[in-house]
Amino acid sequence: MELSLKNMQGATVGSIEVSDAVFDTPLNKALIHQVMVAQLANKRAGTHSTKTRAEVRGGGRKPWRQKGTGRARQGSIRSPQWRGGGVTFGPKPRDYTQATPKKMRRAAIKSLLSQKARDGEITVVEEFVLPAFKTQEVLKALAGLEIATNTKTLVVNNANTQKELWQACHNLQRVKSIPAAILNTIDLLNYDHLVLSVEAVRRIEELWAEERPRLPMRREGAVAAAQGGE
């Protein structure tokens, strides 16, 4: 698969061959949704906490006698139906982490990259360089690439200048910059347009183009060693 290659002035200078295994895979909405839910769940701190009636201060004495007052019987002013009382089945600190297999996360990223390539939402530049790492320079660069200012744009660049580029994009509400190594499902869903440098494209292909071979199991290695000894 080929994508158009531009310079920082927005002129097309050629094309770049990209891996079909990353940029030409089918869209799997169910998989993307599952990975997205897991990633959002893993961001939750899980520190919320409420007090039960046993933990609320006070309420050790029965508020009034059991019978003869004409009122409903009460055992404690810290019962859940009282103001200031405990909370019934309230949230307690918990771990929201959802384990997602690596293959699923990799497949979701490749599916989103492929869909953006089909929709024309990827701009590949030779190298995303700026005269100075300032917010105005980022706006000028995006305008030169014919990307509208109201478009949510994700800039993926090499890691060498990532800190300075992130600082330049940080003041822009609709622009974010990340290195290729931490490209993820949530960012690909949140941002409409993707700007990739050639180096970022090659890094993405290096990370996700091919499935990594599984390591041999210990049992298989032990069996092979035993057979060799015989």
> pLDDT digit of tens for each residue in the chain (230 aa)?
889 898 888 888 888 999 999 999 999 999 999 999 999 999 999 999 999 999 999 888 899 999 999 999 999 999 999 999 999 999 999 999 999 999 999 999 999 999 999 999 999 998 888 888 889 999 999 999 989 888 999 999 877 677 888 888 888 999 999 998 899 999 999 999 999 999 999 999 998 887 655 556 555 665 566 666 55
Residue where the block lists tokens 């990975």: 35
Q: How far is CA 80 from CA 23, 63, 199, in A?
A: 56, 14, 60
Q: DSSP 3-state assignment of 78?
A: coil
- Single out the residue of 20, 32, 17, 78 nearest to residue 188, CA to CA: 32
- Single out the residue of 120, 121, 138 nearest to residue 129, CA to CA: 138
Query: What pLDDT does residue 92 have?
Result: 94
Query: What pLDDT does residue 157 have?
Result: 85
1 Cβ neighbours under 8 A, 6+ residues apart: 17, 18, 19, 20, 23, 24, 117
Beta pairing, strands 12-17 & 2-6: antiparallel
Residues 2, 17 contacting (CB under 8 angstroms): yes
Give the type of residue at 113: L
Q: Quick count: other Cβ atoms within 10 Å of Cβ 215?
A: 7
The count of C-alpha atoms lying within 13 angstroms of the C-alpha of 17, restricted to the half-sphere facing its C-beta, is 0
> What are the tens digits of pLDDT across the range 144-166?
998 988 899 999 987 767 788 88
d(Cα 200, Cα 166) in Å, to the nearest integer?
A: 15
d(Cα 78, Cα 71) in Å, to the nearest integer?
A: 17
Predicted TM-score (pTM) of this structure: 0.79
DSSP 180-213: GGG--HHHHHH-SEEEEEHHHHHHHHHHHSSPPP
d(Cα 117, Cα 129) in Å, to the nearest integer?
A: 23
78 Cβ neighbours under 8 A, 6+ residues apart: 53, 56, 57, 58, 59, 84, 85, 86
Query: What pLDDT does residue 62 have?
Result: 92
d(Cα 122, Cα 137) in Å, to the nearest integer?
A: 20
Query: What pLDDT does residue 80 have?
Result: 94
**What domains appear along the chain, each with residue ranges and CATH number?**
2-44+100-208 (3.40.1370.10), 46-95 (no CATH)
Query: What pLDDT does residue 164 have?
Result: 84
d(Cα 117, Cα 131) in Å, to the nearest integer?
A: 28
